[in-house]
Amino acid sequence: MKEEIQFLEGPQSRWKDFWFTVKIFREFIRGFRRLHFVGPCVTIFGSARYEEGHEYYTLARKVGAEVARLGFTVLTGGGPGLMEAANRGAQDVGGKSVGCNIVLPAEQKPNDYLDKWVRIRYFFVRKTLLIKYSYAFIVLPGGFGTMDEYFEAITLIQTQKISVFPVILFGTEYYKDLLDQIQLMKRYHTISENDNKLFHITDSVEEAVKIIREKSIVKYSLKLRKEFAPLKLLKEHNIKHHRRMKS
């Protein structure tokens, strides 16, 4: 990751800055090509640190299954933990499961429950891809990365850079301090009076499904969404189910 660190140290030579821009452009094109035919997605954010057997892993797997049953592709960061659980839940019910995996110094491998994935070097490219293809965002318990992704989505909605898609926080106990902080922001007028309406907080998978159905499927008439046909000339193809599931 030395290249990224050098880039963030300030002005480089014109050639280095230009070449870095080209690499970013190539990252976007690779992501667009891989994800162009995945269909309407719901992105599920969450910690990489919870393993099978934890209550949050079980919750994430159930959420992934119910999102897939609605007809959405489950899109995650492609890594372990709650990302893996959500992708696994999608495959449990025969749904589509896609990951946008980040390349880290401590290598993060794509989890075993993905039909398709793309490896990305830069977090800002990854976040753009996770948002671009999604009609709703589900935020499970997570750390700094999850909070970064949550506030990215909320900020884009708040500033009208993307449409008002549902953003659903899972875990009233886990996120109670965050909700207190948001109320503090309102009290100090650093956010608008109605900005807390930009997201929903719940512990109920059924409630989350209802919100997505009403505020994504119905509101945006997703059944009318144009589908694109792959072009053989560009070596494009629709999503295929690889089913690399563990026993």
pTM (two decimals): 0.90
Alpha-carbon span 97 to 84, nearest angstrom: 10
Please answer whether residues 235 and 83 qualify as being in contact, where contact means their C-beta atoms are separated by less than 8 angstroms.
Answer: no
Instruction: Quote the pLDDT of residue 226.
Output: 54
Instruction: Quote the pLDDT of residue 246.
Output: 38
pLDDT 10s digit of each residue in the chain, 247 long? Answer: 666 666 677 787 888 888 889 999 999 999 999 999 898 999 999 999 999 999 999 999 999 999 999 999 999 999 999 999 999 999 999 999 999 999 887 767 899 999 999 999 999 999 999 999 999 999 999 999 999 999 999 999 999 999 999 999 999 999 999 999 999 999 999 999 999 999 999 999 999 999 999 999 999 888 645 556 666 666 666 665 544 433 2
Instruction: Quote the pLDDT of residue 222.
Output: 81
As a whole number of Å, the CA-based R_g of the chain is 18
How many Cβ atoms from other residues are within 10 Å of residue 103's Cβ?
Answer: 12
What backbone torsions phi and psi does residue 208 show, to the nearest 5 degrees? -60, -40
Q: Which of 89, 76, 64 is nearest to 127 (CA)?
A: 76
The token duo for 13 is 């030579």
108 Cβ neighbours under 8 A, 6+ residues apart: 48, 78, 79, 80, 101, 102
Instruction: Quote the pLDDT of residue 242.
Output: 46
Instruction: Quote the pLDDT of residue 105.
Output: 76
Structural domains of the chain, with CATH: 2-234 (3.40.50.450)
Alpha-carbon span 195 to 172, nearest angstrom: 18
Please answer whether residues 31 and 120 qualify as being in contact, where contact means their C-beta atoms are separated by less than 8 angstroms.
Answer: yes
Please answer whether residues 178 and 145 qualify as being in contact, where contact means their C-beta atoms are separated by less than 8 angstroms.
Answer: no
Please answer whether residues 202 and 169 qualify as being in contact, where contact means their C-beta atoms are separated by less than 8 angstroms.
Answer: yes
Tell me the per-residue pLDDT of 195-209, one tens digit each, with 9 for 90 and over: 999 999 999 999 999
20 Cβ neighbours under 8 A, 6+ residues apart: 3, 7, 12
Instruction: Quote the pLDDT of residue 112.
Output: 96
DSSP per-residue letters across 172-235: TTTTHHHHHHHHHHHHTTSS-TTGGGGSEEES-HHHHHHHHIIIIIITTTGGGPPPPPP-GGGT
Instruction: Quote the pLDDT of residue 243.
Output: 45
Q: Give the chain's length.
A: 247
Between strands 167-170 and 134-139, the pairing is parallel
Instruction: Quote the pLDDT of residue 49.
Output: 95
